[in-house]
Structures are given as C-alpha cells and as structure tokens.
Structure 1
Amino acid sequence: MTDRKPYRHRFPISIIQYAVWLYHRFPLSYRDVQELLQERGIEVSHDTLREWNIKFSPLIAEELRHREPRWGSRWHMDEVCTTVGGVRHWLWRAVDEHGVVLDVLLQRHRDTEAARTFLARLLGEFHVPETICTDKLASYGAAIRKLPALQEVHHQQVISTARCNNLVEQSHRPTRQQERSQLGFRKLKRTQEFLNLHARMTNLHRHTRTTVPAHIRRNNQNQAFQTWSTVAAGVA
C-alpha cells in the first residue's frame, strides 16, 4: 500500500478520529502518534496525520463546543506569554470554578483592548458571571469598566503568589506540555485551532470525570464520540 492514493479512501473514519483524538488529548507529536498507530499495524505517515488534523480539528471543535452546557458563574482569567513562529504572543485563558476551560485566545498584546476583546468574546458565548477573578494586571479592571454588561459583576483581584487563581494557572500546564512536544508553535491560525480543540477534549474528560455522576458521564461521553464520528464522516 502506497501513499499515492488519497488518505480518505484508505483509512476508515474510526482510525482518523482516533489519531486526531490522540494528538489533542495527550502531549504527543505527529511522530509519536505515528508510532502508536504502527504498534497496532496501521501504517500512516506523519504528514498524513498533519493533514487529518488540519481538515478535521476545526469542525470537531465547533461541534463539541455547541454541545457543551453553560458552565459555572465564576470566571478565573489569566494570560501567559508564548511564542508562535518566533513572535511573542499572549495566550488569554478563562476557566470556571470547576476548572473547565471556557475559552482561549491568542493575541499580540496584553493591554486593555486585548482584555476587552477577550471578555467580549466570552460574553458572546456565556451568561454574565457573578464574579471575575484575575491577577493584578490593570488591563482587566479597565476592560471590565468599558463593558456595560459587566458593571454589576464583582471583580476580585488576587495575588499570583498566593495561588488564589490557581485553577486557571494550572490549566496552562497541558498547553505548555503540548508546546514542548511540538517543539514550539509555528503558525498562528493552526495554533489557535489546535488550542480550541485541545480545550474541548480536555473539558470532555476532566469535567465528566470530576463533577458528573457515573451514569451521566457515560451518556455524555457516548454522545460526544457519536458527534465526533458524525462530523468526521460528513467531511471525509
């Protein structure tokens, strides 16, 4: 079997979705996934794995996002510096009180306008929270004052060294692991797509594992993977 035929004619959807799931669920490179599949008798190149991720990741992330419930009423927000293609960017992240990722966004700046953009993006997807927890970065307070919907929200500023915002700070760790496994991020659009699906997949396993009864967790996971299969089959 050669690589001359299109991959969608050679591999069943179950293998494609499994490969994409491995790449986004664990800190693995394309070559790591390639070796895991080879151990199961599946010969696929790392270039083909990259093509699968480019084609399927945005569609699956969007579908899973629409099937998530509206989460908690307390937002924890933080930003970390990362490099994409040799250019410094800021990765803005928001999680709820359960540690579930609400959204991630890469931006070039760390100012008031960047904070306002991220908050407006969150308000477009979630209900207005009761409390927003941030570090001492002044841009958060200035951005909150500029958004009328957040005027009544309690803004709690915490000290990073006191670990009061530990939920969101710990949420950065899987991203750092993925960044190391990929030897750094290279393209802005692909990195944003990767982080979107990575957050959705992390939520699927973390939230159902820690806060949902077992029988509901099984139903949610079955529904999520049925959705995954449906979306993958529709675009293959």
Structure 2
Amino acid sequence: MTDLKPYRHRFPLSVIGYALRLYHRFPLSQRDVQELLHERGVQVSHETLRQWNIKFAPLLTEELRHREPRRGSRWHLDEVCVKVGGVKHWLWRAVDEYGDVLDILLQEHRDTQAAKSFFVRLLGEYDVPEVIHTDNLVEQSHRPTRQQERGQLGFKRRKRTQEFLALHARVSNLHRHTRTTVPATLRRSHPSAALLRLREAMQQVA
C-alpha cells in the first residue's frame, strides 16, 4: 500500500492513521498519543493531533459506516448521561442483537422530541427493525464511553464529543471479535482484518 502524504500534511497516512487509531481504540488522551508517537521517533504536537481529529474523524466515521456489513434487525436502545463542558447531556445509543453499534447521538434533552430525532436518524440509515428493545442490556456498550471520558479528563465541546464518540463506535465495531468469547482462530485473525479495513478507509478519506 502506497504511504501517501495527504494534502497540506507533512506526515504520511500511516502515521496519521496510527495516531487516530490509538486515540479512538484505547482510553488515551491526545497527550498520551503524542508521547507514544514520540517513542517511535515521530515528533507531533498536541495541536497537530487535534487538527487531525477535526479533519479526519467525521470523514473516517462515514467511510467505516459504509463499509460495515448488514446489521441485525433487533435493536437495543438506551441513553446515558454525560457531561460536556460541565453541562449535562444525554448520549443516545442503538446496538443490534450482535452488539454492534448502529449509531449514537449526543443531545441536550431526554424527552420525546429527543427520542424522535434519534429514531428518524436511525431509520434514515437502516431498514425498519423487527424488534426494538429499550432495556438495560445496551448499557454495557456505554462502558467504553466512560473509559474514554476518564482518559480525556472529561468531554469539553459538544460537536467534538459527538465526532469523537461516533468514530470511537465504528472503530470498536471493527475490533469487537477480539474478545475471548469468540473462537481462538477468529480472535487471532480478526485484528489483522480490522487494521486492514481501517487503513483502506483512511486511504479513501485522505
């Protein structure tokens, strides 16, 4: 794979993609990623990492979403309270019966209009499901969000938080089969396939 340099960036795709993967796969702050890159001989400023996320995160989210397989027809929906800049928000999330995240939406309210907005968003991307559950099973999918929230010492801005969590969900979908609950052969082969899909997506958005 040709390691291109995106327009107006002095670092190649391999470095930018690696930095984005670290930030969205693990509960790391941008300064943590900066230090890890430094250990590999890559000198990147905190501001550069921030700009990479602003530019590439929304594009990469959409590219990965389009590459995802057909999702299940049984949805689990729930919401969790998160603070953004010290203000209470509600993170709405939908997953299918296999545990893959369908979508997330950060909103300021937890009311009928907020729920309707999320449903309209979902139905604009997916077929009408057979069953919709609104139980507590989906709450387990919020755990990575809490870990990322702690790693970043809290979320600061609503738009950036939405973009970050949207890509975080897509990257988590890629790596879901690395858990010990799946056969060892699949668990060993899946990380390589996930990395390849992420690199291919990065090629398309750069």
TM-score (norm 1): 0.76
Instruction: Give the counterpart letter for 2:159 in structure 1.
Output: K
Aligned equivalent of 1:194: 164
Q: Which runs of 5+ in 1 are unaligned?
A: 1-5, 136-164
Aligned equivalent of 1:85: 85
- Aligned-pair distance for 1:191? 0.7
Aligned equivalent of 2:9: 8
- Aligned-pair distance for 1:219? 8.2
Contact 1:25/1:201, CA 8 A, preserved across alignment: yes
Q: Whole-Å Cα distance in 1 between the matches of residues 176 and 147 of structure 2?
A: 17
Instruction: Give the counterpart letter for 1:25 in structure 2.
Output: R
Contact 2:90/2:108, CA 8 A, preserved across alignment: yes
Deviations 1:111-156 (A, max 9, x none): 1111111111111111111111114xxxxxxxxxxxxxxxxxxxxx
Aligned equivalent of 1:156: none
Matched, 1:225 2:195: no
Q: Whole-Å Cα distance in 2 between the matches of residues 38 and 58 of structure 1?
A: 26
Contact 1:73/1:96, CA 8 A, preserved across alignment: yes
Contact 1:91/1:107, CA 8 A, preserved across alignment: yes
Matched, 1:172 2:142: yes
Q: Whole-Å Cα distance in 2 between the matches of residues 222 and 36 of structure 1?
A: 18
Deviations 1:50-84 (A, max 9, x none): 11111111111110011112211111111011111
Contact 2:60/2:202, CA 8 A, preserved across alignment: no
Question: 1:36-115 residue pairs with structure 2 within 5 A?
Answer: 36-115=36-115
- Aligned-pair distance for 1:227? 2.2
Matched, 1:183 2:183: no
| Larger Rg over CA atoms | 1
Q: Whole-Å Cα distance in 2 between the matches of residues 116 and 191 of structure 1?
A: 21
Deviations 1:85-128 (A, max 9, x none): 22211000111111111110011111111111111111111111
**CA RMSD, aligned part only?**
2.3
Instruction: Give the counterpart letter for 1:8 in structure 2.
Output: H
Deviations 1:3-62 (A, max 9, x none): xxx9712x2221111001100010000111111111111111111111111111111111
In structure 2, do the counterparts of structure 1 residues 52 and 218 end up closer, same or farther at CA, with 3 Å as the change threshold?
closer
- SS of residue in 2 equivalent to 1:41: coil
The count of residues paired between Structure 1 and Structure 2 equals 197
Deviations 1:207-236 (A, max 9, x none): 57677984984785365134233135x3xx
- Aligned-pair distance for 1:190? 0.7
Instruction: Give the counterpart letter for 2:15 in structure 1.
Output: I
Percentage identity across paired residues of the two chains: 66
Instruction: Give the counterpart letter for 1:203 in structure 2.
Output: N
In structure 2, do the counterparts of structure 1 residues 180 and 7 end up closer, same or farther at CA, with 3 Å as the change threshold?
farther
Matched, 1:34 2:34: yes
